[in-house]
């Protein structure tokens, strides 16, 4: 479905980003993965290549333009274009609002939201020049419901939806599609650092679908939003949460 497409995916060393990179590569894309965990990123790229797919690993922090530039420039110099950008890298440490420092608030926004400003400013000129492109931003279902201990996170993820909607309006004339996914409680390794098994089970019990929603479930919807199947859509936010929140 993405044969020979050039796809940039941030945060691809683990979790949802890894699943997106693997699925895209299995569909014929060249997956250019950036992560601050370079070793993990290389492992994913090598395993894609050894399975017959195309992938390249880049180490870098999405907060730093000087880290993003080589990722973008390498895609342009190697392939002459970027077809798909998935802004996925993000963090979700818990912190009570009254104990939160301004530095914690800023760090959350720098990683989850301002990173998209940096990346999009570097990628979009190439898409505008070709009058084609697909952007998928990863937000969170928590924006629709609110969540204690995550005020900084939920605010940043709301910003991602606002960015998606406004950018879609600005980029439509260039045939650039900008959409968003709000994942629910996804079973990733990082979950165990912030959520107990009991909490995860309680969330699942609130879903319509009585199974954990997996990174591959998100990757499949991301594939849809990155392919021609979604050519009539832009500015939209798709909830992939097993029917936890209906929005």
Query: Least CB distance from residue 69 to ligand NAD, whole Å?
Result: 14
Binding of residue 91 to ligand NAD (CB under 6 A): yes
Give the nearer residue to ligand NAD in terms of CB position, either 54 or 212: 212
Report if residue 89 touches ligand NAD, rule: CB under 6 A. Answer: yes
Site string for ligand NAD, 36-75 (x = CB under 6 A): xx-----------------------xxx------------
Interface residues for ligand NAD in 195-224 (CB under 6 A)? none
174 assigned to active site: no
Catalytic position from the list 24, 153, 157, 215: 153
* Shortest Å distance, C-beta 127 to ligand NAD: 21
**Stretch of residues binding ligand NAD (CB under 6 A), selected from 13-21, 45-53, 126-134, 228-236:** 13-21
Q: Does residue 92 belong to the site contacting ligand NAD (CB under 6 A)?
A: yes
- Our CB check for ligand NAD shows the closer of 11 and 53 to be 11
| Closest separation in Å from C-beta 173 to ligand NAD | 28
CB 85, CB 164: distance < 8 Å: no
Q: Is the dihedral of CA 221, 173, 73, 137 positive or negative?
A: negative
The interface mask with ligand NAD, positions 137-156, x = CB under 6 A, is -x-x----------------
Distance between CA atoms of residues 25 and 195, nearest Å: 31
Among 29, 82, 171, 188, binds ligand NAD (CB under 6 A): 188
Q: Contact residues for ligand NAD (CB under 6 A)?
A: 11, 13-17, 35-37, 61-63, 88-92, 111, 138, 140, 183, 185-186, 188, 190-191
């Amino acid at each position: 479905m993405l044969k020979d497409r050039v796809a940039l995916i941030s945060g691809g060393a683990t979790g949802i980003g890894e699943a997106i990179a693997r699925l895209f590569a299995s569909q014929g894309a060249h997956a250019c993965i950036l992560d601050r965990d370079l070793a993990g990123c290389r492992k994913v790229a090598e395993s894609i290549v050894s399975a017959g797919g195309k992938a390249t690993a880049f180490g870098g922090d999405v907060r730093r333009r000087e880290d993003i530039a080589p990722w973008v420039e390498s895609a342009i110099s190697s392939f002459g274009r970027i077809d798909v950008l998935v802004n996925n890298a993000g963090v979700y440490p818990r912190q009570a609002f009254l104990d939160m420092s301004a530095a914690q608030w800023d760090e959350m926004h720098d990683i989850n939201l301002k990173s998209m400003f940096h990346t999009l400013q570097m990628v979009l000129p190439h898409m505008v020049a070709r009058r084609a492109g697909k952007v998928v931003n990863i937000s969170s279902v928590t924006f629709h419901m609110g969540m204690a201990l995550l005020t900084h996170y939920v605010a940043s993820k709301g910003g991602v939806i606002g960015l998606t909607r406004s950018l879609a309006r600005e980029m439509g004339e260039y045939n650039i599609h900008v959409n968003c996914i709000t994942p629910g409680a996804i079973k990733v390794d990082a979950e165990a650092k912030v959520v107990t098994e009991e909490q995860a089970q309680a969330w699942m019990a609130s879903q319509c679908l009585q199974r954990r929603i997996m990174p591959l479930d998100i990757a499949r919807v991301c594939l849809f939003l990155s392919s021609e199947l979604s050519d009539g859509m832009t500015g939209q936010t798709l909830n992939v949460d097993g029917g936890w929140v209906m929005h």
